[in-house]
């Protein structure tokens, strides 16, 4: 039985830990050659070594357009194709609308939203050459409902959703077989979310009893990424896929 991503090449940003790490491992186990990128070289190299021969790590600041150009050129030179782009890299910044600063807002958008634009823009020509590439943009449940303690983060992820739909329609019009979808997890048990919880101190971010049923693991997200990366989802384009255990449709009084 063949692997689901055999002979495919994937690029996963923010793959040094958390969801990105789980994505890279899952795609590699199904046969993909995975290029992992992260701003933290130590963590990224460790994941690549953990995966083995199907993985390669490249340091990347996803907010840098020059680095995107360099990575795409390297992939084209060394692999000759790109089948899967997972725009996963992001930061989670604790600040409501009165606490957030313009500098903080711009930092969040440069990493969470502008990097997605840069990734799609520079990878799309190479994806189109395969005749059936898949773009997976990591958004959030906060793009679908209000999350007051994370004003910039929520807005950045809502922008990812709108951008994804625009790209999906554009790809349809191009007729080159590339699909673009956004994935919207709710709470995920990752080091980043644990760090934010520690920063919150005495501030209660959510009702823990209410949140608990909706928390998923990075592996849960990775399994959905695998499906969207595979040819099994070839008719899914422009979708807003919730991965939240029903959080976005559950009334607050239940």
Non-local (6+) Cβ contacts of 179 within 8 A are 133, 134, 135, 168, 171, 228, 233, 234, 236, 237
How far is residue 229's CA from residue 10's CA, in Å, rounded to a whole number?
9
Are 228 and 134 contacting, i.e. CB atoms less than 8 angstroms apart?
yes
CB atoms within 10 A of CB 50: 12
Catalytic residue (choose from 79, 153, 170, 253):
153
Phi then psi for 36, rounded to 5 degrees?
A: -100, 135
CB atoms within 10 A of CB 241: 17
Is 153 designated active site?
yes
CA 170 to chain centre: 20
Active site amino acids: 153
């Amino acid at each position: 039985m063949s692997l689901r991503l055999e002979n495919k090449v994937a690029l996963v940003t923010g793959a040094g830990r958390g969801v990105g790490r789980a994505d890279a491992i899952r795609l590699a186990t199904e046969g993909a050659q995975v290029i992992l990128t992260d701003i933290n070289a130590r963590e990224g190299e460790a994941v690549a070594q953990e995966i083995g021969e199907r993985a390669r790590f490249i340091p990347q600041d996803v907010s840098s357009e020059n680095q995107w150009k360099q990575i795409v050129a390297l992939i084209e030179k060394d692999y000759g194709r790109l089948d899967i782009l997972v725009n996963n890299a992001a930061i989670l910044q604790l600040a409501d609308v009165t606490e957030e600063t313009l500098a903080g807002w711009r930092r969040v958008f440069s990493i969470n939203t502008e990097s997605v634009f840069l990734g799609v823009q520079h990878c799309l020509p190479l994806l189109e050459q395969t005749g059936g590439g898949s773009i997976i943009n990591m958004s959030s449940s906060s793009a679908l409902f209000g999350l007051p303690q994370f004003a910039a983060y929520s807005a950045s992820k809502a922008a990812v959703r709108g951008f994804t739909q625009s790209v999906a329609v554009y790809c349809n019009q191009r007729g080159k077989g590339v699909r673009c979808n956004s994935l919207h997890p709710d709470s995920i048990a990752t080091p980043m979310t644990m760090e934010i919880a520690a920063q919150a101190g005495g501030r209660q971010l959510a009702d823990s009893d209410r949140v608990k049923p909706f928390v998923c693991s990075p592996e849960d997200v990775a399994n959905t990424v695998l499906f969207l990366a595979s040819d099994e989802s070839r008719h899914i384009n422009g979708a807003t896929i919730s991965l939240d255990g029903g959080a976005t449709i559950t009334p607050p009084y239940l």
